[in-house]
Amino acid sequence: MPHSDTTASTDHKVNVVSDLLRLPAVVRHTGLSRSTIYRLMADRHFPAPVKLAGRAVGWRRADVDRWSASLPSAAH
């Protein structure tokens, strides 16, 4: 019988969950309001969320980071 490694499976789930941001975390991470995030999504200027379950969604941290990095930097 093959030996199942539940630790590896659990570690993978933790990594996947930590790589997803729920809306409050996206708001904190970007400094944008909820309505601005959804307006930018509607205009296709912000990453689309992934469906988690039912009505729950989350954003991939890498997608939000990539979006943030693509913004022009402010000149001071």
The answer as to whether 4 is a domain residue is no
Burial 9-41 (b: 16+ CB within 10 A, else e): eeeeeeeeeeebbeeeebeeebeeeeeebeeee
DSSP annotation of 74 reads P
Provide mean pLDDT across the span 3-14.
52
Query: What is the residue range of 63's domain?
Result: 18-69
The answer as to whether 41 is a domain residue is yes
0.75 surpassed by pTM? no
What SS3 class is residue 70? helix
The answer as to whether 43 is a domain residue is yes
The secondary structure of the chain in percent helix, strand, coil, rounded to multiples of 5, reads 55, 15, 35
pLDDT tens for each residue of 10-68: 555 555 667 999 999 999 999 999 999 999 999 999 999 999 999 999 999 999 999 99
- Number of separate domains in the chain: 1
The answer as to whether 8 is a domain residue is no
The CB density around residue 65, as the number of other CB atoms within 10 Å, is 13
